[in-house]
A = this chain, B = another copy of it.
Amino acid sequence: MPRKAVVLVSGGLDSATVLAIATEAGFDCHPVCFEYGQRHRAEVDSARRVCLRRTGREPRIVAVDLSAFGGSALTDTGIEVPETSTEGIPVTYVPARNTVFLSLALAYAEVLDSRDIFIGVNAVDYSGYPDCRPEFINAFQALANVATRAGVEGRSMIIHAPLLDWSKGRIIEEGMRLGVDYAETVSCYQATDAGLACGRCDSCRLRAQGFREAGVPDPTRYVVGRG
C-alpha cells in the first residue's frame, strides 16, 4: 500500500509542482489548502483544480483567520502590496504563516496516520521570509517528532521541502516534465477573483522570470499587459 502524505497546496506554481513530485514519488497524496483571510478567492479555486486533476481528490480546505492579527499586506487590506522590491523582510510576509500551515498539516497527518508532509517553500526566491529557510524546516521536523503520537511511538515524521534550494526556472522545468498545467495556477499577490494576475507584484515578477529561465511560454493570464 502506498504511504499516505499530506501535501500543502496553495493554488500557486510551487505547490502544484510539489504535488506532482509527491505523486510521482508514489505517495498517496492528501492535499490540504488554507483559507486564511488572503485578499482573493482565486488561490483556493486554483488549488481545487490542481488537486482534482492530479489526485482525483478535493483538497481538505481549512479556515484559519490570520487576518485577525493583521500585520501583512496579504491579509490586511489597509497595507498596499508593493510593486517594487524592498530591503529586508517584505510587507507581504504573513507572520508565522508557514508555521501555522505546517501545524495544521501536522494535525491532518495525525488523523490520517501519515508520517510525510510536503511543502513548497523555496529559500531562493523568498530569502527575506524567515519561514522559508532550511533551518525552519529542520526545526519544524524536530518539533513534529515530539508533538505527535507517531513521534512519541518512535515513528519519525518527515517534512519534505523538495524545492527548498531550487531556482524558479528549475521548478518550472521539473513541473513541465511531470505534466503540470501552470495555466491552472495563480501566483499573484493581488489576483482578481477570476484569477487574473497584476503582472507587477514581486510574486508575478519572480514567476515571469521563472518562465523565461525555463525557456517556456508564460501561460499566466494578466489583467493588463505585463508591467
Contact = CB atoms under 8 A, between A and B. Distances in A.
Interface stretch (A56-64, A163-171, A186-194, A200-208): A56-64
Given A69-B60, A131-B147, A149-B130, A107 B111 contact: no
Given A62-B68, A130-B148, A139-B147, A107 B103 contact: no
A148 B108 CA distance: 24
Contact of A107 (B63, B99, B108): B99
A40 interface: no
Nearest to A66: B107
A4 interface: no
Contact of A147 (B66, B89, B98, B148): B98
A174 interface: no
A contacts with B: majority SS = helix
A124 interface: no
Nearest to A93: B149
Given A107-B69, A130-B152, A143 B60 contact: no
Contact size range, A: 35 or more
A162 interface: no
How many copies altogether?
2
Interface in A3-35: none
Contacts of A111: 69-71, 95
Interface in A48-89: 60-66, 68-71, 89
Contacts of A130: 146-149, 151-152
A198 interface: no
A216 to B, nearest CB: 33
Given A99-B107, A136-B143, 9 more contacts: A62-B65, A69-B111, A71-B110, A96-B147, A99-B106, A102-B103, A130-B147, A130-B151, A142-B142
Query: Closest 3 A-B residue pairs measured CB to CB?
Result: A95-B110, A71-B111, A96-B107
